[in-house]
Amino acid sequence: MKMIMTQYTLKIHKWLFPNVRTTIITSILSLLFSGFTVAGYLLHSRNSLWISFKVLALIGVLWVLFYGALSALWKFDDRHRVRSIKILPKRYFILSILFIAVCWVLVWLASWPGYYVYDTGAFSDYLNSGQLSNWQSVFHTLVVSTVIRIGKFIFGSYNGGVALYLGMQMLFVLALTAVMLYFLLYKQRCGLPVFIVSVLFLGLSPSISMFALCSTKDTMFSVVLLAWVLLFTVSIQQDNVIKSPVYDIALFLLTFLVCAYRNNGAYIIIALLPFAFFLIHTNKGEKWKKSAILSIICIVGVAASLIWSGPVATTLNAKKTKSVARNDFHTNYSTRPSCNGLPLHRP
């Protein structure tokens, strides 16, 4: 009896803790899922966050559940990894992307013209008076306001402009989602279970669809940062130094956009580079030469963003005022702008 129990214990231990790398990744993901789940519940029910013994206990219970679920998914995925690649033709991959698109479009129609929130104070100020504020991202304010003006000219209302911008943003996020899933399935060779769970999560999770249709700068910042990570990963996995200048240009543009969409974006790139270089030196190829080239590209991208947020923003008469951010945070919490004039925001 003891031998049977020992065998089951060893099997469970091997299933839950297969190796150090998988254990660490699963633990971090489980902590993120459990933490965000509890935070979302508290914000939805109490409109505030706090730390207490009950909150930490709930996070712990959810961590155990998520850890077990993810461990089961990894195990199931390993059994189907090789076979999954052969039984998933490209047409099913396209249908999966269309499924996500339909889910997002339904949310877009239900919240028409979309979630015009948070950073709208900066947009409205610029549309009303032409005054830019570099307290928010100047680049993001210019892009959103320009598209809204084009939409107003075409459709005759600011609602049309908001819908045009959020529709374009949704397509951009969807395109990157397709690239991410393609990379996950056909390059990283994940199994069909992980791919199916990813598609269902991206399509049916309200936080994902609302995030794709939200006018805040955090959406585009997160999207271009994910694109930066994917491109950097592809560059690392090449045997030679970057083969095509297209990669160089794309990495430069993504570095610039990460920094331009958030005023503190440069710190994110700087913080990521040591981890990226660690990954470079765990792969084969011309390591130091590749590290130097990627470093120069990223440094040039960060420098270009500093020029944009400094001299260029000053030339555009962008002023650093906190009033826009405060007003924006306290009042702009409506998802339905007015059809007449600039969007109205109900407290």
Residue whose token pair is 């956009």 = 257
Give the number of other Cβ atoms within 10 Å of residue 82's Cβ: 10
Q: Residue 200, Cβ neighbours under 10 Å: how many?
A: 14
- The DSSP call for residue 118 is S
pLDDT digits (tens, 9 = 90+) for 226-284: 888 888 777 766 654 455 677 788 889 999 999 999 888 888 888 877 777 776 666 55
Which pair of structure tokens corresponds to residue 222? 């997160």
For 121-139, what is each residue's pLDDT tens digit? 777 778 887 777 777 888 9
- Structural domain contains residue 6: yes
Q: Please check the confidence at residue 339 and state whether its pLDDT lies above 60.
A: no
The owner of tokens 């944009």 is 308
Is residue 107 included in any domain, yes or no? no
The reply to whether 34 falls in a domain is yes
Q: What is the mean pLDDT of residues 200-217?
A: 88
The model's pTM: 0.73
Mean per-residue pLDDT of the chain: 77
What range does the domain containing 32 cover? 1-87
Do the domain assignments include residue 53?
A: yes
What confidence score (pLDDT) does residue 175 get?
A: 92
Alpha-carbon distance of 314 to 133, in angstroms, equals 10
The structure tokens 């794309």 sit at 250
- The answer to whether 34 touches 62, Cβ cutoff 8 Å, is yes
Closest CA to 134 of 5, 239, 260: 260
pLDDT (average), residues 67-88: 66
Nearest CA-CA partner of 236 in 273, 262, 210, 266: 273
Question: Is residue 258, in this structure, part of any structural domain at all?
Answer: no
Residue 23 lies in a domain: yes
In a domain, 145, yes or no: no
The reported pLDDT for the residue numbered 284 is: 58
What is the number of domains present in the chain? 1
What gap in Å lies between CA 88 and CA 192, rounded to an integer? 8
Domain membership of residue 335 (yes or no) is no
